[in-house]
A and B are shown apart, each in its own frame.
Chain A
Amino acid sequence: MDRTGQIRPDDILLFCTQRNEKIRLAYFLEYYRKQGVNHFFFVDNDSDDGALECLRDQPDVSLWHTRASYRRSRFGVDWLNWLQRKHAHGHWVLTVDPDEFLVYPFCDTRPLRALTDWLDASSIKSFSAMLLDMYPKGRLDAQPYQSGEDPIEIASWFDSGNYTMARNKAFSNLWIQGGPRARVFFADAPAKAPALNKVPLVKWDRKYVYASSTHMLLPRGLNQVYDEWGGEKASGVLLHAKFIDTFGAKAAEELERGQHYAGSVEYKAYAERVRDNPQLWCKWSEKYINWRQLEILGLMSKGNWA
């Protein structure tokens, strides 16, 4: 289903790959439409839960379908890079998963276009938003998620201050780890904890590519989303609503398919812990209120946007 003919020159585009996430799509589309995304690009990886049909009927969605291997497309990156190269040149592009929700400075009062206009005026081409793992208080499966609900209402807690970062010389990006996954799932192997750095919002040029998921881009200058002389650049957060009741089934399925990063080591770690009462919440968990709270905690910054 190709509706790319509708796209106007200054539209903000969103790119997403998904598999069997129908239950999440209703709220996902609503959330990003409200922020001001004008057109959605979906690559559906062989869904059989009705997601394909659901997306096909959306007036602002262009949809591609594939049965090919997620792993061999470098976890969907190749599919999206190709679509972006073809359709996104000159547009602001947001690349997110169906369980990622962008929060940026002033997002409660200013639409996404205010941010992209400001980035344009400041000659900034890429915008950082680290992944913040959200989780419920109590068992992950205690409160079932219903289609259309805000998943952050269920998974409303996060770790506020246990992130570590290091420079990745090869791509000059920051490599951020930590959060509940490092704390609980990778307590014995912190080096293997998943990367949380992301650059999901980019003024696209056909010369650009995502090198590994949305963690880093080429050319490398696009990864320079951090200041090295003490100042703060503007940045946001991707609220990651992965850890809700659907997670157990998802982890089991993904483990079986073996289609995820580094031999699905992440899902192996999850599967082991998930069996015995998964509880990510701890006494020092922080309950999500709004972007200002995240900015005060130092997880994101307004930079010089005021």
Chain B
Amino acid sequence: MTASLGVVMLVHNALGRAEQVARHWAAADVPVVIHVDGKVPAKTFDGFRAALADVPNVLFSNRFSCEWGAWGLVAAAQAASELMLSRFAEVRHVYLASGSCLPLRPVQELIEYLADRPRTDFIESATTADVPWTVGGLDEERFTMRFPFSWKRQRYLFDMAVKLQRGLRLTRRMPKGLVPHMGSQWWCLTRQTLSAILQDPRRRTYDRYFRHVWIPDESYFQTLARLYSTNIESRSLTLSKFDFQGKPHIFYDDHLQLLRRSDCFVARKIWPHANRLYEVFLTGAADALNKTEPNPGKIDRIFAKAVERRTRGRAGLYMQSRFPNEDWENGVTAAEYSMFQGFAELFENFEPWVHSMTGARVHGHLFAPDRVHFADGQTALNGALSDSALQRDYNPKAFLTNLIWNTRGERQCFQFGPLDNQDINWRIAKDPNAQISVITGAWAVPLFRSNMDFADIRRIAATLQKIESEHMDILRSPFSKARVRIWSMAEFIEAPMEPLQGILDEIGQARIRRLSEAPKMVDLNGFGQFLQNLKNQGMHPYLMGDFPIERGSTSGADLPRKPYLVK
């Protein structure tokens, strides 16, 4: 008895595995026609054929030389299908498989599945306009150009031929009545559809046309089936995933559970040395037949993720095999972070205050000249990042990206100022993850409160003002992608609650709803006079904004002393 299913198998290597699978089909009375690539040496072929001589319903078709993307694969499928249809009259569905395909479910389940759908053709077939699958940028053009050269062996000539035809606008016409369709080359067609394609009076015309289409094995049957089939299910029964270069993903022993749960009938491509997969799927006897539909969802997700990893990668990661060019990073850093400038100078307890309000990790001046001021005075941080300024300044950008990467999942905040290493400024300004809040001119507060000679203060103030001013130019430049907020000190002191609330909202931890307590501002009594003294000495501090001589005293005295309630 022969089953109503026949398998056409295209084989080019790992013949031992192909033999195993052919025997498996044949054992379930499924006839098999094998096409062996013409490039396989005659001696190897003879051995293979002899090895299968004891199986009566395994036949071998005429051999064609098969090359990826060329006509040989179609010719092979045609010849083997013709042999199948003529020699096995009971066959109702023909399944096209490769030598590295592996049946995952009992053959009987597939036979019954097809018997329940006697008129259905399973062939993935979509119009070129609607699918983005094509690799190499040739979609419509694969039908309108000629491809006399091999893509794998003669890439240069192949590309030149394409260029030439584009340049000369050479196109050729499709035979009348055809609408180009594409899809997976692994199909399962009914005798009616398949024989209609193979016995079509115009087949010579079609063949002549498809001979020079690129990758005809993905379009010949897919296009012609549309002419004859009464019922196309546009999907392949073969689980076959492709990576971003259009090369099939390979299954290994560790995919066993995944393949089992997929409920797919056949999977491709199996690594020839995946002993366990072959052992399990070719020997497992089924107790009760299972009627479930194939469900490759989970496998789809895993392979889609692999493609995503290869093409976009993990944002903010710099490592041995991912080192993006500047501005092509898909994320300069791994997560959002906050940089504060001037706040720690203006408020006595700013760092613990932010931490208690948001739960974020709040560092001091990470880029300070003496050492890295990690939160809580730690000497190292996640990932064994050292607090040595020397190590940090050897590559400050890597220091920042490492810090943010190492602490993924925990919001980072740090202080910055004109005394710190400024090499990092552009990197941060161009990072959309950076949320930068600056109170300009606040660096003058520590000077004001210091016990230095005024001549020194004047000199330092001039330097710091210049540095901060350059930094603000960067932050305000059109290339800056960070979330930047800049207040002059005078402006900030006028109404500090609103900006503080905004900053906490942005950090976005759910701990607070409304700000009820402000951090404690330092005593600014006399600060206005201090600025005036600088001016009197010819150094004009302008970054603080307009600071009246007497105002520092009042606002400075009022604000911090008692809890501040916002209505």
Contact = CB atoms under 8 A, between A and B. Distances in A.
Contact of A197 (B302, B313, B320): B320
B382 A284 contact: yes
Contacts of B405: 161, 298
Given A165-B318, A304-B310, A229 B328 contact: yes
A302 interface: yes
Contacts of A159: 383-384
A119 B74 CA distance: 28
B558 to A, nearest CB: 44
Interface stretch (A41-49, A55-63, A107-115, A144-152): A107-115
A273 B8 CA distance: 69
A188 interface: yes
Contacts of B471: none
A122 B248 CA distance: 10
A227 B313 contact: yes
B306 A114 contact: no
A183 B323 CA distance: 22
Interface stretch (A22-30, A64-72, A201-209, A230-238): A230-238
B311 A231 contact: yes
Interface in B398-455: 398-399, 402, 405-406
Contact of A284 (B254, B318, B381): B381
Contact of A227 (B247, B323, B386): B323
Interface in A219-271: 225-235
* Residue from B305, B328, B383, B390 whose CB has the most chain A CB atoms within 10 Å: B383
A187 interface: yes
A300 B313 CA distance: 12
Nearest to B398: A164
A225 B321 contact: yes
Contact of A303 (B271, B309, B383, B384): B309
B320 A235 contact: yes
B273 interface: yes
Contacts of B303: 306
Contacts of A232: 309-310, 313-314, 317, 319, 321-322
A109 B329 CA distance: 32
Interface residues of B, number: 51
B329 to A, nearest CB: 6
Interface string A187-203: 11011000001000000
B388 interface: yes
Interface residues of A, number: 57
Nearest to B325: A228
A183 B328 contact: no
Interface in A288-304: 298-304
A225 B271 contact: no
Contact of B322 (A182, A286, A301): A301
B58 to A, nearest CB: 27
Contacts of B381: 284
A226 B395 CA distance: 19
B307 interface: yes
A117 B271 contact: yes
A300 B322 CA distance: 9
Contacts of B244: 304
A304 B243 contact: yes
A108 to B, nearest CB: 8
A282 B390 contact: no
B281 interface: no
A171 interface: no
A285 interface: yes
A285 to B, nearest CB: 6
A162 B402 contact: yes
A160 B313 contact: no
Interface string A118-155: 10011000001110000000000000000000000000
Nearest to B304: A306
B131 interface: no
B230 interface: no
Contact of A226 (B320, B383, B388): B320
A284 B311 contact: no
A306 B314 contact: no
A298 B384 CA distance: 14
A163 B401 CA distance: 10
A303 B390 contact: no
B514 interface: no
A98 to B, nearest CB: 22
A224 B390 CA distance: 30
A119 to B, nearest CB: 12
Given A110-B252, A229-B324, A301 B319 contact: yes
B320 A122 contact: no
B340 to A, nearest CB: 24
A221 to B, nearest CB: 15
Contacts of A187: 386, 388, 390-391
Interface string A153-179: 000000111111111000000101000
A183 B322 contact: no
Nearest to B319: A298
Given A110-B254, A167-B323, 14 more contacts: A121-B247, A128-B321, A161-B385, A162-B385, A163-B319, A165-B398, A225-B320, A229-B325, A231-B310, A232-B310, A233-B310, A298-B317, A303-B306, A303-B309
6 contacts: A110-B253, A117-B271, A161-B402, A161-B406, A228-B328, A300-B320
- In the A-B complex, the 3 residue pairs with the smallest Cβ-Cβ separation, listed nearest first, are A161-B383, A304-B310, A235-B321
Interface of A: 106, 109-111, 113-114, 117-118, 121-122, 128-130, 159-167, 174, 176, 180, 182-183, 187-188, 190-191, 197, 225-235, 282-286, 298-306
